[in-house]
Amino acid sequence: MKILAVGDIVGEAGLDTLSALLRRVKREHGIDFTVVNGENAAGVGLTPKQADEMLAAGADVLTLGNHTWGKRQIVPYLDDSPYILRPANYAPQAPGRGAAVFDGPQASRILVVNLIGRCDMQFGPDNPFLCADRVLAEYAGQYDIALCDFHANATSEKIAMGYYLDGRVSAIWGTHTHVQTADERINPKGSGYITDIGMTGPIISVLGVCPEQSIAMFRGDLTEYFKTAPGDCALSGAVFEISMDGKCRSVRRVWERYAR
């Protein structure tokens, strides 16, 4: 089966890009199941309406990250919708869930796990490595293949998680840093891996933000709220081809321009 992971949707521009391109990309690659990271749809966080739009665009599951709580109106949605995950290593009292089993092609059962890193990020989340162990043990026997979106900042933490889960999940990809890395590969025990699948948003931008605003921040000038940059966008992601024994057969980067 073919899994498409789509990188962080940034702002309304990213949402428009997803809505315009996702069905064509899925058709062209013969995609069976799509996971979209949606935590930046509102810049910081996402609203229930934006989550609905991403699902309507063709996402099967939405994953999140450090901006999960950026728009508080998403809180009841996290409990109500079965198609959205927040990091599994958040505190147990946090709303929503961090992993779930979804219907895949040919009656397959797909476990999707969302984790967040701690290296150069918030200190609150639980250890993502030990959390991954717990989640895989909890769902043992209830899934055919497992996928993991690791929303993390440090390349070292992502690469280490890639090897830690090698052979235990069919594919693991990084999100959060918004720049697609060129290290897509199959790890030694058969898991598809890429350090970051990139973002879905404006091409001429600093991680989605207007360059002038980002430069002003780095210069130490007074800045306003960050705005999503104008201009053409790109949908970034990766396609993992997985056989029914759970091994990944190929990983391909996806980068599609959307003229605006």
Q: Which residues bind Fe ion (CB under 5 A)?
A: 65-66, 176
- Smallest gap from Cβ 153 to Fe ion, in A, equals 8
Chain position carrying tokens 């079965």: 82
> Would you tell me the crossing angle of helices 48-56 and 11-29 to the nearest 10 degrees?
20
Structure-block tokens of residue 156: 């070292």
Catalytic residue flag (residue 178): no
- Smallest gap from Cβ 200 to Fe ion, in A, equals 13
- Smallest gap from Cβ 27 to Fe ion, in A, equals 29
Which residues neighbour 51 within 8 Å (Cβ) at sequence distance 6 or greater? 38, 41, 62, 74, 77, 81, 84
Distances (CA, A) of 257 to 97, 164, 203, 207: 33, 34, 8, 16
Nearer to Fe ion, 114 or 170 (CB): 114
- Smallest gap from Cβ 66 to Fe ion, in A, equals 5
Nearer to Fe ion, 71 or 176 (CB): 176
168 SS3 class: coil
**C-alpha to C-alpha distance for 177 and 192, rounded to whole angstroms:** 19
- Smallest gap from Cβ 20 to Fe ion, in A, equals 23
Provide the H-helix boundaries in the chain: 11-29, 48-56, 75-80, 128-138, 155-164, 211-219
> Around 118, how many Cα atoms within 13 Å sit in the side-chain half-sphere?
12
173 SS3 class: strand
Nearer to Fe ion, 66 or 228 (CB): 66
Bridge partners for 171 per DSSP: 147, 192
Bin 219: left if φ > 0, else alpha if -120 < ψ < 50, else beta. Answer: alpha
Nearer to Fe ion, 26 or 86 (CB): 86
Residue of 67, 151, 176, 178 with catalytic role = 67
User: Which residue numbers are catalytic?
Assistant: 67
